[in-house]
Structure 1
């Protein structure tokens, strides 16, 4: 048993004075490439990381739900009859929203028993590594087990997305939950967000002597705030003006017409999504044909597009990316929804100390908060631990 698993078990027993039915976990994710393409029905290429959220959960004999965590003093209680999005708020909206959303996918909440759950996590919060989807996915697999719903992991990803959209109020796509639920060791999840078809693609980082370095800028963000929603609205406006259902229906060849029809800001938002979709496809093809050492330029181009066209970067992210490249990373970009969070740097193993030291020094010189820098590896998705 890991330290985190032991802490979760102890936390459950101390809060609820009994043993849980089991332990479940789900990983955070890093998006290798494909940012803000998911809700535009495009392509994304994330992978699950070896930082996990662990939960202990046990059924009750009545209809009460009790939710507690290591990051909040209070336990939240409500009855299944009260389980509606408008009754949920704060951190508990993530686990409780999943319970509600399962009812939208066939669970008969009128006949099921309540439960108690305790949550702890090693996924950094607000870093763009999808700590929220890790909570949602861990709770989804646990309730799927104890309520005996027999839903597959692709359906549970849709459950998590619905919870985040309706209960939390964040207009996110399905990428985060898909990565957390479908991830595999040393592989990425190539996901078509229109058809929801997915393919596990070997990354080959280990064989190529590469590490993926996370640079958590400590600039916190929230998908429920205005910047993310405004970008989504711009994408929808651009698609409507161009007469398509979503930006997925556009290709590079459509950009000259888009430039004529759209205002400058909306055009740049559209151009990012269209070119980012192409970069995802090119990254998957390049991995297959040439290996991971050849994808650096695609990562770099993705960051430039997010910085200039989608305007979701911040000075700390730009500094992390530029410094990592100069210190030897073969490619770097911000990852996640933007306005803070983390950058990634694909780095030769031998250069990780140098890249880390260079970024630390650059942040110190600019007076920025000290970043948290660490290596992640592609990991298996959500499941039962014990």
Structure 2
């Protein structure tokens, strides 16, 4: 399983970017970062860590129901150049940049200022030996806090309770993922930071190699430290593997690639609609979590599935129990994809039982009293299990519509994946029919998100319609962190469209001319909000949790060739031949 493998090592950017190059001159970026690092710090970078942004092709708001989703790392990324800093033994440790493990962090973007910080040892019960570290990370969405978050996980995992001290480091950050676009620039910053600190401290080579899954787990925990609180029960293996029954004890870090058919690329477009998260949480994401969890319990009760009194069953677990699925957490194999697809098709009809008896509400919303009755719990038990830990603002709860979306979307993910795999296994031929089918599934997903899960908005609905009119096979909203209990997760952000490769330029031109918020945007300003990409190296639409689908680390060597089919040969500086370590 890839999660258990050590981070892979390559020796050139060709393998990293493969046939990418649709929107960026990668060589120029790497060259500029390496040269700027040397100008600022007076030495060459030892490593460059990379983590891409991500886009979710299909599978929205079903991961916390424990169904698989299909994300892809995109071409745009965060890069962190770094090198150890020599600190003479006589240096005064009272100065932050002389302290053990101190960090001098700079950002190529001129609006971000230099930051200097250092962790401090934390003693427990006044014992002499170090039990941990303290690193001040204010709950503010500042760029350096994402760097600190990545660092803290490394300190906590590798420098607790021992005599070794972390190495002082200099680092320089740059990024091409548009901030605030819903393409996970902040998560990319955290995972690149985690990777950089592991590398500088020798945790990726030799006898202390960190496995891919360990890096993912660590990065997940690290992101919590900047206020992103993950869902309390990890989702199962997401895209590309048959979703399987998952319990808290089941290792969820499994993934396999799902190649997209040739002839099309992805185009990401920012709606420029930013959800007011402080206002929408109680009526948006938080409410959907409650509706999804309660709906699963209500459906289990209606279908006669035995439940523990305080069990928070998920929609995926309902399916597993209906099919007498062997518990993979206890060594069972679980259902194969075909069996799961067949059960999903049957269960979709069962969600009719979530309509409140005698309801005349066309939206099929249950009152609080009706919802408690459907759950089979007492009012007190219901509140403790489902309402005591989250704030929601609603008088009616649309259990039926949310269940309809979750099950139909879970089936669409498997259908999408099957089409991709069947096409990859078949003789090379015209992929037009398959691309149209994939596009139809994306369009159906958007309709379900808008009508049944109600996580879209007017801007996203308009942008996806204009994308189809401009020639996309399919277009839908994309949410990168639905499983993270952060305020928002929808109701704004980006769309992703599947577009004929030969028509990308004309497609972008048409959308930019017809989508009102893009009026007047040209050049770099336009490319920040709408751009083409291919699934980034190592991801191929594959990674658990949507998070960390492809990250890599590059270590200095003499020189690096580029992929000649998409851009001319432009060598990096002599010190920048690279060693590449990728997660997926």
Shorter-chain-normalised TM-score: which range? Answer: 0.7 to 0.9
**Larger radius of gyration, structure 1 or 2?**
2
Q: CA deviation at 1:197?
A: 1.5
TM-score normalised by L of structure 2: 0.57
Describe how 1:106-255 pairs up with structure 2 within 5 A.
Answer: 106-108=158-160, 111-149=165-203, 150-164=209-223, 166-172=224-230, 194=246, 195-204=252-261, 206=262, 209-220=263-274, 227=280, 230-232=284-286, 234-236=288-290, 238-240=292-294, 242=297, 243-251=311-319, 253=347, 254-255=350-351
Q: CA deviation at 1:192?
A: 5.0
Secondary structure of the residue aligned to 1:203 is coil
Does the 8 A contact of 1:26 with 1:54 survive in 2?
A: yes
* 1:234-268, Cα deviation, whole Å (9 max, x unpaired): 31454156153334324552523433464433543
Q: CA deviation at 1:103?
A: 3.8
Greater alpha carbon shift after TM alignment, 373-382 vs 250-259 = 250-259
The residue number in structure 1 matching 2:535 is 378
The residue number in structure 2 matching 1:38 is 63
2:81 is aligned, of 56, 59, 67, to 56
Give distance in 2, aligned partners of 1:202 and 1:163: 30
Q: CA deviation at 1:210?
A: 1.6
Does the 8 A contact of 2:84 with 2:167 survive in 1?
A: yes
Stretches of structure 2 lacking an aligned partner (at least 5 in a row)? 1-25, 88-99, 121-133, 204-208, 247-251, 298-310, 320-343, 357-369, 372-395, 424-433, 480-488, 538-549, 555-577, 579-584
Secondary structure of the residue aligned to 2:45 is coil
Give distance in 2, aligned partners of 1:90 and 1:368: 30
Stretches of structure 1 lacking an aligned partner (at least 5 in a row)? 183-187
Indicate whether 1:101 and 2:160 are aligned.
Answer: no
Task: Describe the shift of the 1:80–1:318 C-alpha distance in structure 2 as closer, same or farther (beyond 3 A).
Answer: same
Q: CA deviation at 1:86?
A: 4.9
2:114 is aligned, of 55, 75, 84, to 75
The residue number in structure 1 matching 2:421 is 288
Q: CA RMSD in A?
A: 3.3
Task: Describe the shift of the 1:369–1:154 C-alpha distance in structure 2 as closer, same or farther (beyond 3 A).
Answer: farther
Give distance in 1, aligned partners of 2:82 and 2:33: 10
* 1:13-47, Cα deviation, whole Å (9 max, x unpaired): 44444433221212112211112333443211111
Q: CA deviation at 1:353?
A: 4.0
The residue number in structure 2 matching 1:185 is none
Give distance in 2, aligned partners of 1:368 and 1:192: 42
Runs of 4+ in 1 over 6 A off after TM superposition: 366-369
Greater alpha carbon shift after TM alignment, 374-383 vs 256-265 = 256-265
TM-score normalised by L of structure 1: 0.83
The residue number in structure 1 matching 2:448 is 305
Q: CA deviation at 1:122?
A: 1.0
Give distance in 2, aligned partners of 1:87 and 1:51: 26
Does the 8 A contact of 1:33 with 1:299 survive in 2?
A: yes
Secondary structure of the residue aligned to 1:278 is helix
1:91 is aligned, of 143, 158, 161, to 143
Secondary structure of the residue aligned to 1:339 is coil
Does the 8 A contact of 1:20 with 1:57 survive in 2?
A: yes
Task: Describe the shift of the 1:47–1:322 C-alpha distance in structure 2 as closer, same or farther (beyond 3 A).
Answer: same
More contact order relative to length (CA 8 Å, sep ≥ 6): 2
Give distance in 2, aligned partners of 1:323 and 1:219: 16
Secondary structure of the residue aligned to 1:92 is helix
Greater alpha carbon shift after TM alignment, 32-41 vs 246-255 = 246-255
Aligned length: 370
Give distance in 2, aligned partners of 1:3 and 1:48: 21
Q: CA deviation at 1:306?
A: 1.8
Does the 8 A contact of 1:137 with 1:382 survive in 2?
A: yes
Secondary structure of the residue aligned to 1:27 is strand
Greater alpha carbon shift after TM alignment, 71-80 vs 263-272 = 263-272
2:504 is aligned, of 352, 356, 368, to 352
Task: Describe the shift of the 1:377–1:66 C-alpha distance in structure 2 as closer, same or farther (beyond 3 A).
Answer: same
Secondary structure of the residue aligned to 1:168 is coil
Give distance in 1, aligned partners of 2:161 and 2:453: 41
1:8 is aligned, of 11, 16, 33, to 33
Q: Decide which structure has greater strand share.
A: 1
Does the 8 A contact of 2:155 with 2:166 survive in 1?
A: no
